[in-house]
């Protein structure tokens, strides 16, 4: 069974046809200064029947007819055999949509999804229309003929849609004869209104719905260079599927900072590793993007793309490019946020060396929830940092002595809550909240809790608790040697990746540490240009 389909095709042509006859004027006498009084002639759909007469009388028999007025209606619809084309022809078009922003509900300048449109052959028809001019005097007719008659010389082109994929949107309106008056002889009627009829026709097409299909995009092409014997070379795993070399034009490297891309020469001296957490500095080079973009073709601002192949990511980083109008050495890189890793931890305020700076000593005083990523160890109970605890949650004294969250012997603690516990039995000098002690070997008992006193280490994240007025370890690097975390530095806006795999797939044996997530240096072959 055929599916319901209606696309207002004929209706759109009617609306465009009506617009031809909109906003035309006739004179209705003169004002006291002798200037002509202009009256706009409205247009309505309806034939010269009782229905149209009712409309003119404003649905009342007591009202005098209203004129001037134009009405139009369909006078015929005929299949046009002469314009018949191959009925089974199908045209395919590959189109690309502009990227749609659901937030602003607007289309941007970036490339969006790609589609294949299959259009079936439309059916030719001739649409015949008649326009009736309702006037009260001879002069009004002449004015309308003189104004409208010059439009059709010999025809007038109209467009039903602005969709460039629609091959039926254009048509031409032709004149098909004019009847000057509807009155007969003798003229014995009491109706002062006379009707002039003007006939038109336009060739048009009626088409069925098109098939719309998404099509995939080739992201990467892998080729091999054979040595002359195709079969032997294809069976050579080392040649075809084994060791490969990625090459970029001129061997250029890439530096990605913020929204900027800079070309670097091959073997750029003093290139720091991406494991350095500080923000890179743009070196002074004389390499211009035009030299490499011209090798690929005509660059299109805001449409052309660059993809970055980060060895620590499963997907590519994609963004559109625009040459910096102030400096051709840089590209403005508008990254697709969906291709970037998302933060798994709350952002840190800064990356610091706690042995060099501390609160009120190179850093602001303690601020609620301020977070620092450490690049060196820090001992507890220092003048700047005070007593550092391992968590905001106190460990239980009892009764689950075998559980991981219970107090352990020989470990340093700070009393959090007393409950029913006498902490003096376990090594505390007194039984007050805030007292520090080392847990002895006495079997725990009671309902009190205590914070673990720790020494924060390299790669830890410290956070200040305003209620406790203490720093605690929010991220313990030593306890996360098998995880994958992302966090952003609010000072530099750089995102870091916690490279927690001791046997790293990129650099085997790499110790667990923080590194730049996606910004930094890219070697030749680690980026692609899509014009």
Q: Cα separation of 466 and 287, whole Å?
A: 51
Does residue 90 have a pLDDT over 60? yes
Between residues 101 and 60, the one the model is more confident about? 101
Question: Is residue 503 predicted with pLDDT exceeding 50?
Answer: no
Model pLDDT for residues 284-314, shown as the tens digit of each residue: 888 888 878 877 777 888 888 888 988 888 8
pLDDT at 528: 84
Q: Is the pLDDT of residue 154 over 70?
A: yes
Residues near 441 by beta carbon (within 8 Å), at least 6 away in sequence? 409
Checking if the pLDDT of 403 tops 50, the result is: no
333 beta partners: 321
For residues 220 and 199, give the distance between their C-alpha atoms in angstroms, rounded to a whole number. 60
Over range 437-460, report the average pLDDT. 84
Give the Cα separation of 506 and 273 in Å (integer).
14
Q: What is the pLDDT of residue 40?
A: 93
CA dist 266 and 518 (Å) reads 20
User: What confidence score (pLDDT) does residue 225 get?
Assistant: 53
**Residue 432 CB partners (closer than 8 Å, separation 6+):** 415, 418
Is the CATH code 3.30.2000.40 the one for domain 9-211?
yes
3-30 residue pLDDT tens: 788 888 899 899 999 999 998 999 988 8
Question: What's 267-295 look like in SS3?
Answer: CCCCCCCCCCCCCCCCCCCCCCCHHHHCC
Mean residue pLDDT of the chain comes to: 81
Q: Please give the biggest Cα pair distance in the chain.
A: 129
> What is each CA distance from 434 to 414, 416, 463, 464, 466, in whole angstroms?
6, 6, 19, 16, 15
Torsion angles phi and psi, residue 141, rounded to 5: -60, -45
Identify the pLDDT of residue 245: 53
**What's the pLDDT score for residue 508?**
53
Beta bridge partners of 383: none
What pLDDT, on a 0 to 100 scale, did the predictor assign at position 207?
87
In this predicted structure, what is the pLDDT of residue 360? 87
**Mean pLDDT value across residues 337-349:** 91
What are the boundaries of each domain within the chain?
9-211
Query: pLDDT-derived band of residue 64, with 50, 70 and 90 as boundaries?
Result: very low
- Name the least confident of 95-104, 472-481, 499-508: 499-508
């Amino acid at each position: 069974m055929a599916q319901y389909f209606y696309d207002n095709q004929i209706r759109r042509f009617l609306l465009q046809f009506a617009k031809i006859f909109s906003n035309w004027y006739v004179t209705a006498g003169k004002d006291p200064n002798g200037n002509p009084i202009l009256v706009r002639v409205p247009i309505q759909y309806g034939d010269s029947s009782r229905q149209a007469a009712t409309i003119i009388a404003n649905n009342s028999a007591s009202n005098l007819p209203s004129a001037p007025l134009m009405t139009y209606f369909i006078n015929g619809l005929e299949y046009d055999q002469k314009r018949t084309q191959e009925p089974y022809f199908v045209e395919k078009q590959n189109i690309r949509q502009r990227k749609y922003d659901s937030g602003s509900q607007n289309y941007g300048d970036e490339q969006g999804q790609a589609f294949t449109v299959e259009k079936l052959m439309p059916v030719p028809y001739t649409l015949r229309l008649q326009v009736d001019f309702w006037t009260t005097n001879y002069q009004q007719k002449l004015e309308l003929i003189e104004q409208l008659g010059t439009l059709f010389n010999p025809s007038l082109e109209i467009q039903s849609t602005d969709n460039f994929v629609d091959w039926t949107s254009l048509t031409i309106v032709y004149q098909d004869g004019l009847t000057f008056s509807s009155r007969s002889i003798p003229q014995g009627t009491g109706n002062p209104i006379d009707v002039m009829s003007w006939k038109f026709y336009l060739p048009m097409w009626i088409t069925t719905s098109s098939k719309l299909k998404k099509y995939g995009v080739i992201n990467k092409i892998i080729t091999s260079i054979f040595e002359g014997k195709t079969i032997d070379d294809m069976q050579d795993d080392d040649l075809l599927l084994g060791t490969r070399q990625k090459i970029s034009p001129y061997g250029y490297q890439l530096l990605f900072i913020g929204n900027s891309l800079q070309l670097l020469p091959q073997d750029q001296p003093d290139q720091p590793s991406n494991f350095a957490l500080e923000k890179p500095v743009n070196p002074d080079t004389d390499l211009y993007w035009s030299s490499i973009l011209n090798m690929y073709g005509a660059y299109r601002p805001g449409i052309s793309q660059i993809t970055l192949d980060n060895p620590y990511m499963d997907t590519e980083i994609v963004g559109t490019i625009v040459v910096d109008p102030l400096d051709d050495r840089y590209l403005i890189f508008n990254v697709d946020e969906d291709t970037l890793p998302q933060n798994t931890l709350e952002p840190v305020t800064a990356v610091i060396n706690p042995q060099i700076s501390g609160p009120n000593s190179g850093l602001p005083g303690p601020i609620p929830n301020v977070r620092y990523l450490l690049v060196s160890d820090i001992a507890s109970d220092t003048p700047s940092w005070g007593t550092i605890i391992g968590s905001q949650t106190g460990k239980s004294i009892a009764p689950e002595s075998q559980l991981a969250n219970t107090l352990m012997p020989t470990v340093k603690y700070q009393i959090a809550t007393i409950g029913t516990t006498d902490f003096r039995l376990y090594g505390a000098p007194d039984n007050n909240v805030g007292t520090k002690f080392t847990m002895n070997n006495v079997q725990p008992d009671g309902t009190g809790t205590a914070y673990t006193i720790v020494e924060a280490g390299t790669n830890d994240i410290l956070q200040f608790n305003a209620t406790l007025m203490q720093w605690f370890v929010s991220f313990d690097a030593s306890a996360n040697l098998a995880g994958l975390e992302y966090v952003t530095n609010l000072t530099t806006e750089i995102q870091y990746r916690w490279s927690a795999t001791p046997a790293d797939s990129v650099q085997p044996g790499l110790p667990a540490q923080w590194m730049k997530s996606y910004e930094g240096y890219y070697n030749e072959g680690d980026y692609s240009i899509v014009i």
